[in-house]
Amino acid sequence: MFEASEVKRLIEQGLPCELVVIEGEDGVHFRGIVVSAAFEGKPKVRQHQAVYATLGRLMGNEIHALQLQTFTPAQWEEGRGELGM
């Protein structure tokens, strides 16, 4: 079982991020918000794949699910993102 803080650390280690917020109480199901300039020009599916890549083999194994909301910094500043997960 994983702590949300460890999932957050792995994402931040593998992807340059302006903001990462991860929540999850049961150690296997998580939800989060990731804001990164690396998402510029990429469709949502590619943004999510970039985040999942930071977790490697943990996705689908130790981490059963990660529900994501991803944003570029501009999108986040425009108010498209909210912390109300």
Cα 65–Cα 68–Cα 74 angle in degrees, nearest 5:
165
Give the CB-side neighbour count of residue 40, counting CA atoms within 13 A: 7
Looking at residue 85, its pLDDT comes to 46
CA-to-CA distance for 51 and 6, rounded, in angstroms?
14
List, for residues 17-53, the tens digit of each pLDDT value. 999 999 999 999 999 999 999 999 999 999 999 999 9
Distances (CA, A) of 1 to 10, 20, 32, 49: 15, 20, 17, 22
Residue-wise pLDDT tens digits, 69-85: 999 999 998 876 555 54
Query: Is the pLDDT at 2 greater than 90, yes or no?
Result: no
Q: pTM score, two decimals?
A: 0.90
